[in-house]
Amino acid sequence: MRKKGGQARKLFEQREILASGLPSFAEIVRGSLVTRYRRCGKPTCHCAKGRGHGPAHYLVVTLKPGKTEQILLSEQMLPVAQQFLNNYKRWWAALEKVSAMNRRLLRLRVPALRESRPTTSA
Ligand SMILES: [Zn+2]
Protein backbone atom coordinates (compact mmCIF):
# COMPACT_ATOMS: atom_id res chain seq x y z
CA MET A 1 0.00 0.00 0.00
CA ARG A 2 2.77 2.40 0.96
CA LYS A 3 4.73 1.36 -2.11
CA LYS A 4 1.74 2.05 -4.34
CA GLY A 5 1.30 5.45 -2.74
CA GLY A 6 4.93 6.28 -3.40
CA GLN A 7 4.67 5.26 -7.03
CA ALA A 8 1.53 7.30 -7.43
CA ARG A 9 3.06 10.38 -5.83
CA LYS A 10 6.06 10.12 -8.13
CA LEU A 11 3.79 9.82 -11.16
CA PHE A 12 1.76 12.84 -10.08
CA GLU A 13 4.96 14.85 -9.67
CA GLN A 14 6.28 13.79 -13.08
CA ARG A 15 2.95 14.61 -14.65
CA GLU A 16 3.00 18.10 -13.12
CA ILE A 17 6.57 18.77 -14.24
CA LEU A 18 5.72 17.69 -17.77
CA ALA A 19 2.56 19.76 -17.94
CA SER A 20 4.19 22.91 -16.55
CA GLY A 21 7.08 22.77 -19.02
CA LEU A 22 4.94 22.81 -22.15
CA PRO A 23 4.77 25.70 -24.59
CA SER A 24 1.51 27.51 -25.26
CA PHE A 25 -1.09 25.13 -26.68
CA ALA A 26 -2.26 27.93 -28.97
CA GLU A 27 1.12 28.02 -30.71
CA ILE A 28 1.26 24.68 -32.46
CA VAL A 29 1.08 23.52 -36.05
CA ARG A 30 1.30 20.08 -37.61
CA GLY A 31 3.29 19.52 -40.76
CA SER A 32 6.82 19.68 -42.05
CA LEU A 33 9.09 22.25 -43.62
CA VAL A 34 10.10 21.82 -47.22
CA THR A 35 12.71 23.96 -48.99
CA ARG A 36 12.47 24.31 -52.74
CA TYR A 37 14.55 25.88 -55.49
CA ARG A 38 12.50 26.76 -58.54
CA ARG A 39 13.54 26.83 -62.17
CA CYS A 40 11.90 29.68 -64.03
CA GLY A 41 12.20 28.07 -67.44
CA LYS A 42 14.24 30.75 -69.20
CA PRO A 43 17.04 28.91 -71.00
CA THR A 44 19.54 31.76 -70.43
CA CYS A 45 18.86 32.11 -66.70
CA HIS A 46 21.47 30.89 -64.23
CA CYS A 47 18.89 28.56 -62.77
CA ALA A 48 18.87 26.46 -65.94
CA LYS A 49 22.25 25.04 -64.97
CA GLY A 50 22.83 25.68 -61.29
CA ARG A 51 20.54 25.65 -58.34
CA GLY A 52 17.13 27.17 -58.99
CA HIS A 53 15.69 30.36 -57.55
CA GLY A 54 15.12 30.38 -53.87
CA PRO A 55 15.21 29.02 -51.32
CA ALA A 56 11.46 29.04 -50.86
CA HIS A 57 10.21 27.54 -47.62
CA TYR A 58 6.88 25.81 -47.40
CA LEU A 59 4.87 24.37 -44.58
CA VAL A 60 3.42 21.14 -45.94
CA VAL A 61 0.57 19.44 -44.13
CA THR A 62 -1.12 16.17 -45.04
CA LEU A 63 -4.84 16.68 -44.47
CA LYS A 64 -5.90 13.21 -45.55
CA PRO A 65 -4.19 10.52 -47.62
CA GLY A 66 -3.31 12.06 -50.95
CA LYS A 67 -4.35 15.58 -49.95
CA THR A 68 -1.81 18.11 -48.75
CA GLU A 69 -1.86 21.80 -48.03
CA GLN A 70 1.19 23.89 -48.77
CA ILE A 71 1.83 27.34 -47.40
CA LEU A 72 4.61 29.50 -48.78
CA LEU A 73 6.36 31.00 -45.78
CA SER A 74 7.80 34.50 -45.76
CA GLU A 75 11.17 35.19 -44.15
CA GLN A 76 9.31 36.52 -41.12
CA MET A 77 7.00 33.52 -40.83
CA LEU A 78 9.70 30.86 -41.23
CA PRO A 79 10.97 31.02 -37.61
CA VAL A 80 7.36 31.22 -36.39
CA ALA A 81 6.47 28.05 -38.29
CA GLN A 82 9.62 26.34 -37.01
CA GLN A 83 8.68 27.23 -33.44
CA PHE A 84 5.09 26.06 -33.89
CA LEU A 85 6.23 22.77 -35.43
CA ASN A 86 8.61 22.25 -32.54
CA ASN A 87 5.83 23.05 -30.07
CA TYR A 88 3.59 20.53 -31.79
CA LYS A 89 6.22 17.81 -31.40
CA ARG A 90 6.65 18.66 -27.74
CA TRP A 91 2.90 18.52 -27.13
CA TRP A 92 2.59 15.25 -28.97
CA ALA A 93 5.45 13.68 -26.99
CA ALA A 94 3.94 15.00 -23.76
CA LEU A 95 0.53 13.56 -24.60
CA GLU A 96 2.06 10.14 -25.07
CA LYS A 97 4.07 10.40 -21.83
CA VAL A 98 1.14 11.64 -19.76
CA SER A 99 -1.06 8.97 -21.30
CA ALA A 100 1.44 6.30 -20.21
CA MET A 101 1.61 7.78 -16.69
CA ASN A 102 -2.16 7.85 -16.45
CA ARG A 103 -2.39 4.22 -17.55
CA ARG A 104 -0.10 3.37 -14.66
CA LEU A 105 -2.15 5.51 -12.25
CA LEU A 106 -5.37 3.86 -13.42
CA ARG A 107 -3.78 0.45 -12.94
CA LEU A 108 -2.76 1.46 -9.41
CA ARG A 109 -6.36 2.60 -8.79
CA VAL A 110 -5.17 5.79 -7.15
CA PRO A 111 -8.14 7.45 -5.41
CA ALA A 112 -6.57 10.90 -5.89
CA LEU A 113 -7.24 10.58 -9.62
CA ARG A 114 -10.91 11.18 -8.92
CA GLU A 115 -10.26 14.19 -6.70
CA SER A 116 -7.91 15.87 -9.16
CA ARG A 117 -10.47 15.64 -11.94
CA PRO A 118 -12.18 18.94 -12.63
CA THR A 119 -15.95 18.82 -12.70
CA THR A 120 -17.10 19.83 -16.15
CA SER A 121 -20.75 18.85 -15.96
CA ALA A 122 -23.18 21.70 -15.47
ZN1 LIG B 1 15.69 31.38 -63.48
Q: What is the DSSP string of the chain?
A: -HHHHHHHHHHHHHHHHHHHT---TTS---SEEEEEEE----TTSGGGTS--EEEEEEEEEEEETTEEEEEEEPTTHHHHHHHHHHHHHHHHHHHHHHHHHHHHHHHHT-THHHHTSPP---
What is residue 22's predicted lDDT score, i.e. its pLDDT? Answer: 95
Kindly indicate the confidence band of residue 6, based on its pLDDT and cuts at 50, 70 and 90: confident
What's the gap in Å between 54 CA and the centre of ligand 1? Answer: 10
Confidence (pLDDT) at 115: 81
The pLDDT of residue 94 is 95
State the average pLDDT over residues 48-59.
94
Q: What is the pLDDT of residues 88-98, one digit of tens each?
A: 999 999 999 99
Q: Which residues pair with 72 in a beta bridge?
A: 58
- Whether the pLDDT of residue 3 is over 80: the answer is no
Report CA(62)–ligand 1 centroid distance (Å). Answer: 29
The pTM assigned to this predicted structure is 0.80
Nearest to 76 by CA among 62, 91, 57: 57
Q: What is the mean pLDDT of residues 4-30?
A: 92
Residue 50 pLDDT > 80, yes or no?
Answer: yes
| pLDDT tens per residue across span 70-121 | 999 999 999 999 999 999 999 999 999 999 999 999 999 988 888 866 555 5
**Ligand 1: centre distance to CA 72 (Å):** 19
Alpha-carbon distances of 12 from 8, 59, 101, 102, 110, rounded to whole Å: 6, 37, 8, 9, 10
- pLDDT of 110: 85
Interatomic CA distance for residues 62 and 115, integer angstroms: 39
- Please identify every residue whose CB atom is under 5 Å from ligand 1, which is an ion: 40, 45, 47
